[in-house]
Amino acid sequence: MITATEFWTQQPFHQIVTYSFNRGPKLAAPHNAADQVLAELATLPPTDHLRRFKLKRQLRELQAEKEIGATQRRLFNAQGTLDSTAEQIAAIEQNSVPAEQLSQLFQRAGGEVVYAMCLPVFRDALVFNDAQGRLLRVLHVCFECLYMEASDKLNVEADILFYSQLRGLLTQLGHPIT
């Protein structure tokens, strides 16, 4: 466990890319696609073995994607693949105004930390990259639980005011936070 201020001071970066994920139409896509594959399977003649085999394989892949629970989703899976629901929202350069706003926000973070008694559903993330565009670290954010987790599984603590201000900043950047 570290504070938001400690996280920020430990995290060098050249660029921060913000993402929205685990929400919206992309989240429903595997469900809809699985339904379409099932419908197509139902209309295939029993003798079309090759097409049937391909559709069943596609259906297994879609069902595996559907079974990833909302609380289990992270921006990148264990293989380093970007989540299928992810949408890049903003790229923030190190010396830009939004980067300075984030810096001030993280460095000011303090006060009483409140813990929600729910499992976080991460829908927003900040990706810290080096000058070559290589991923350094990801910060997942759940605005419902007021909880943040770094990609190295560290809980990043902040107060309620921090979350309110971070929500405002990400919303200004285009995040569809409700």
Dump pLDDT digits (tens) for 2-45. Answer: 999 999 999 999 999 999 999 988 877 777 888 899 999 999 99
**Averaged confidence pLDDT in the chain:** 91
81 and 138 inside one domain = yes
Q: How many domains does the chain have?
A: 2
138 and 152 inside one domain = yes
Q: What contacts 156, CB < 8 A, 6 or more positions away?
A: 1, 2, 3, 4, 7, 139, 148, 149, 150
What is the predicted pLDDT for the residue at 27?
76
Q: Tell me how far apart the alpha carbons of residues 26 and 32 are, in angstroms, rounded to a whole number.
A: 10
37 and 125 inside one domain = no
Mean pLDDT, to the nearest integer, of 55-75? Answer: 83
Convert the pLDDT of each residue in 132-161 to its tens digit. Answer: 999 999 999 999 999 999 999 999 999 999
Does the residue 71 lie in any domain?
no
168 and 94 inside one domain = yes
Q: Tell me how far apart the alpha carbons of residues 122 and 57 are, in angstroms, rounded to a whole number.
A: 29
126 and 142 inside one domain = yes
What is the predicted pLDDT for the residue at 72?
87
Q: How do strand 2-3 and strand 87-93 relate by DSSP bridges?
A: unpaired
**C-alpha angle 80-169-84 in degrees, rounded to nearest 5:** 25
pTM, full prediction:
0.81
Structural domain boundaries enclosing 90: 2-22+76-173
56 and 101 inside one domain = no
29 and 61 inside one domain = yes
113 and 86 inside one domain = yes
Q: Which two tokens mark 85?
A: 């629901």
